[in-house]
Structure 1
Amino acid sequence: MSDFFKLDRNIQLRIVMMFITIAIGSSVGPNMTIYYVDYFGPFVTGILLVAVQVAGFIAGLYGGHLADTWGRKRVMIGGIAVMTVGYILAAAMNSPLYINPYLTFFGFLMATLGISFASPAEEAMMIDVSTLQNRKFIYAMIYWVINLAVMIGAALGGWFFKTARFELLLGTALGALLSLVIVVIWITETFPASKRTVHGQSVWSVVKSYREVFADKRYLKFMIAAVGATVIFSSPDYYLAAHLGQSFHNTTLFGVTIFGQRMLSVITVTNTLMIVLLMGTMTKLFQKWSNMKATAVGTAMQGAGFALSFLLNDFWPLFLVAIFLTLGEMIVTPAQQSLRAEMMNQQKIGTYSGFSAAMRPVGFIISSAIVSVSAFIGNIGAAMILLIATGISIWFTYLSVVMLREKRTV
């Protein structure tokens, strides 16, 4: 903890804000799908959720561009203000006196737009005030905070969403308002006007800004690697969930019946608890490893672990594999995120961060496609696809690191 207090104040405040934002998002976000299905039906809900993702994607790209044009703080204030208004609207529309699911959806759409818009500026600010020496520690701490926040938020949502929805949403709105106050009063600008780009604010200016990212072959290679990594870590939400739901052999443990959905929860809880309890220790154990070595080993462990879990049907083998792949996740995450920061053009960190965020849905699409094609290729085929994604991620990370090293020697 002493290392935390040595960090730049903006980083300390950003980590606090991240905890608040993710905790409140995790407390209501997953449960809103059930809420929408109850009011709109599954078909309309599916369309609405896709629309939210597309809107968030566009907001992230635009926010990334403006983070290099306006500066970090102004974009963060704008995005978090929109998020706060959205959560306030959602809470107001679910009071004991009045419920309006349509305006509730609009409120959560606003919140998603605000979060997506501010996210590239927040990441850019972290990179502005960190160094190559402390970046791995910072990202390890952020990852620990994220998992702790998700665990607390999910527990609050599971316990209170059905019985005390208004109070939970009101708490969410207050948490968002607290984040806004932190940004307005205490966060300082980290990107001076002298370094900002001269691109305008129009859509064409955004297109030209991202065209320059596409011309960066090193970063594009790293983004291909990032897509492969996304396919790996999103496995529990897609094929693993489907596999366990259909093929898991039910078992009884301590008088409790464990079926497919519960096995997925066991894996998720095991993963989260290990990260919360062991992330600091793992970071110290592997701090002397290069980012490339840690990324390669961690990605291989995580990818192989999930691929193996696609082939298993019993509790204890799956439990042991969950431990193995989580160890890999704790090795790879800080190294991979530190590498990503180093790969960016330091004059256009906001734009690069926006592009990075926009590439994640590509990995999600591939993960969802594995579920569809598994009807033809089975568990073994699905595992092979995941291993191919793992190999691609490691190989393209290596190619981008080679180009980075060549740049350093020029």
Structure 2
Amino acid sequence: MNKLHLNIKVRLAESFFSSFITFMFLPFMAIYFAKYFGETLAGILVAVITVVGLVSSLYGGQLADKLGRKKIMLLSEVLRFVALFFLIFCNSPWQTWPNLTFVLMILLNIGSGLALPAAQAMVVDVSTPDNRKLIYRLEYWSSNLALAIGVGLGGVLFSNHLFELLIIAAAGSLLSFIIVKFLIKETFFTEFKERVHLRKLYYDYKITWNDKLFMIYILASILALSLEFQVMNYTGVRLSNSTDQFSLWSTDRFQFSLGGVELFGLLRSENAVIVILFSLTVGLLSRIIKDRWLLILGVLINAVGYYFIAIGNNAWLLLAMMIPATVGELMFYPVKQTYLAEIAPAESRSVYMAVNSLVGRAATMLGGAAITIGHWLPVWLMGLLFLGTGVMAAWLFVIFMNRMEERAAPLDSTTSPTIMQ
């Protein structure tokens, strides 16, 4: 840890604050929009916000390669703070403006989208192949710690104290800006100032779209990662619409139960806590199970866990099924990232990483679609759709790994004669 570049240490701290701010209220915004606009329109609004963030990520990747990493990260933090500052007034005790809240959420997502490729590129700039696994492991752990604290706090405050929650988020955003401004050093310099435009954007990313193996990987990753967004968005709205209290403990003299929103927050926190506590333990499976099977089994176990969360109405069943859902995630995610490093060519690595950063945006968009579809379909059918998504992701990963082996075969055959000589 002491040998890591100062930028990386600062980035880990800044990433924690940014993730903490996001997780305090973003997972609950689907519930917010469903309350004020209805479930059907809520899914569309979430999808629109996500698409805007996706486009801004593409543009942010190009800007970071033309103007520098730090400038884009600072611009992002300014946009995020402005959006959160005005969100406070749009959701105050004196008035609520859902329409303006939607516009400000778009601005917030633009800021987040611009920052992601720049921050990832900055990490690559100052890291080495030897310490990147450690860096990404620390980032993953930090993000889930922020998720556990942020979602836990959001679950308690969102329903009745959104105003106070947004004040905390704005203060955290301001702190994040200060960290980037005064502690992070620029890592990208160029003597040439090139104009940035959408046509150039197309040619910069065309190389990745023509790589069929990479596109299979991206599609499989989107399906695998979207499962959590789909199920949790759908389940959050489903639980929030329930008028029942979910009992956790009941005796003749004492009864402890939670409302739907509180139970949803507890589920999100449980997911993060399991990741924080058992990441290294589950990682030991890689010593006894081949990466190929660890990836496939992880995706399928994750899908089965989320299937029962999507259809369950018992609090203990939901909490129990979050365990296999999370363990499956811990199994497949590190292996998936390892394969990404193998298929990204050195001369185009930054572009490949930028495209891969869009996986989360696309997964979030599918999560928004699940709200709209869930309004029209019965619970049991939604559960089957979620399970089918996981199976499809596993199947695509099988195709991907088979083609990886086929691509490596010619290299092996060309080196064999040399060895024979």
Instruction: Give yes or no for TM over 0.5.
Output: yes
Does residue 109 of structure 1 match 2:103? no
Distance 1:262 1:271 in 2: 14
1:390 and 2:393 aligned = yes
Tell me the equivalent position of 1:175: 172
What is the RMSD computed on CA atoms of the aligned residues? 4.1
Alignment of 1:32-47 (within 5 A): 32=29
Mapped to 2, the partners of 1:404 and 1:131 lie a distance apart of 26
Give % identity: 27
Summarize deviations over 1:160-217 as a string: whole Å, max 9, x none. Answer: 44655444323322211221222222212334438x9x96401111111122221223
In the alignment, structure 1 residue 148 sits paired with structure 2 residue 145: yes
SS state at 1:193 partner: coil
8 Å contact from structure 1 (residues 124, 349) kept in 2 = no
Helix, strand or coil at the partner of 1:301: helix
Q: Given the two structures, how large is their TM-score scaled by the length of structure 2?
A: 0.77
Q: 1:329 Cα deviation (Å)?
A: 1.4
- Return closer, same or farther for 1:364/1:97 CA change in 2, 3 Å cut-off: closer
Q: 1:225 aligns with which of 192, 200, 220?
A: 220
Q: Which residue of 2 aligns with 1:201?
A: 196
* Contact 1:199–1:205 (CA under 8 A) maintained in structure 2: no
Contact 1:310 1:382 in 2 (8 A): no
Contact 1:303 1:390 in 2 (8 A): no
Measured after TM superposition, the shift of residue 16 of structure 1 is 0.9
Corresponding residue number in structure 2 for 1:339: 339
**In 2, distance between residues paired with 1:295 and 1:273?**
22
Is 1:24 the counterpart of 2:21? The answer is yes
Change in CA separation of 1:393 and 1:92 when aligned onto 2, cut-off 3 Å: same
Q: Do the aligned residues in 2 keep the contact of 1:72 with 1:122 (CA within 8 Å)?
A: yes
State the Cα deviation string for residues 251-310 of structure 1 (Å, max 9, x = none): 743124579877755543432221122224434664797755543342233234334666
Whichever residue aligns with residue 339 of structure 2, its letter is L
Residue deviations 1:205-248 (CA, integer Å, cap 9, x gap): 1111122221223322211221231243334225666888999x
Matching residue within 204, 209, 216 for 1:214:
209
Q: Describe the SS at the equivalent of 1:234.
A: helix
* Number of positions where the alignment pairs a residue of Structure 1 with one of Structure 2: 404
Cα deviations by residue, 1:36-81 (Å, 9 ceiling, x for unpaired): 5666676765554443222212111111222222232222122222
Instruction: Check if 1:352 corresponds to 2:349.
Output: no
Question: Structure 1: which amino acid aligns with 2:177?
Answer: L
- 1:367-399 deviations in Å (ceiling 9; x for gaps): 646758965984784365235323224214414
Q: Which residue of 1 aligns with 2:253?
A: none
Corresponding residue to 1:15 among 1, 12, 26? 12
**TM-score normalized by the length of structure 1:** 0.79
SS at match of 1:254: strand
Report the Cα distance in structure 1 between the residues aligned to 2:274 and 2:334, rounded to whole angstroms. 15
Which AA in structure 1 matches 2:395? I
Instruction: Give the alignment of 1:11-410 within 5 angstroms.
Output: 11-32=8-29, 48-91=45-88, 103-161=100-158, 164-193=161-190, 200-237=195-232, 252-255=247-250, 256-257=256-257, 267-283=267-283, 286=286, 292=292, 294-307=294-307, 319-360=319-360, 362-363=362-363, 368=369, 371=374, 375=378, 378=381, 381-382=384-385, 385-399=388-402, 401-402=404-405, 405=408
Kept after mapping to 2: 8 A contact 1:250/1:257: yes
The question of whether the paired residues in 1 share the 8 Å contact of 2:92 and 2:163 is answered with yes
Superposed displacement of residue 118, structure 1: 0.9
Which secondary structure state, in structure 2, belongs to the residue aligned with residue 115 of structure 1? helix
Q: Distance in 1 between matches of 2:94 and 2:260?
A: 39
**Structure-2 separation of matches of 1:298 and 1:21:** 28
Instruction: State how far apart, in whole Å, the 2-side matches of 1:188 and 1:253 are.
Output: 50
Q: Distance in 2 between the 1:158 and 1:308 partners? A: 22
Match of 1:201, SS? coil
**Structure 1: gaps (5+ residues):** none
- Shift of the 125–337 alpha-carbon distance from structure 1 to 2, 3 Å rule, reads farther
Structure 1 contact 73–189 (Cα < 8 Å) conserved:
yes
Q: In the TM superposition, what whole-angstrom CA distance separates every residue of 1:111-156 from its partner, at most 9, and x where no partner exists?
A: 2111111111112222333344433333232222222212222233
Contact 2:50–2:365, Cα closer than 8 Å, also in 1? no
1:82-135 Cα offsets, whole Å, 9 max, x none, are: 212222333355567887655554433322111111111112222333344433
Q: Which amino acid aligns with 1:139?
A: Y
Answer yes or no: is the 8 Å Cα contact 2:30–2:237 preserved in 1.
no
Tell me how far 1:343 sits from its aligned partner: 3.2
- Whether the aligned pair in 1 keeps the contact of 2:53 and 2:361 (CA below 8 Å) is no
The answer to whether the 8 Å contact 2:220/2:394 transfers is: no
Shift of 1:24: 1.3
Whether contact under 8 Å (1:61, 1:351) holds in the other structure is no
- Does structure 2 conserve the Cα–Cα contact (< 8 Å) formed by 1:23 and 1:150? yes
Between the aligned partners of 2:234 and 2:42, the Cα distance in structure 1 is 21
The alpha-carbon distance between structure 1 residues 235 and 28, as it changes in their structure 2 partners (threshold 3 A), is closer
**More off after superposition, 318-327 vs 70-79:** 318-327
SS in 1 for 2:358: helix
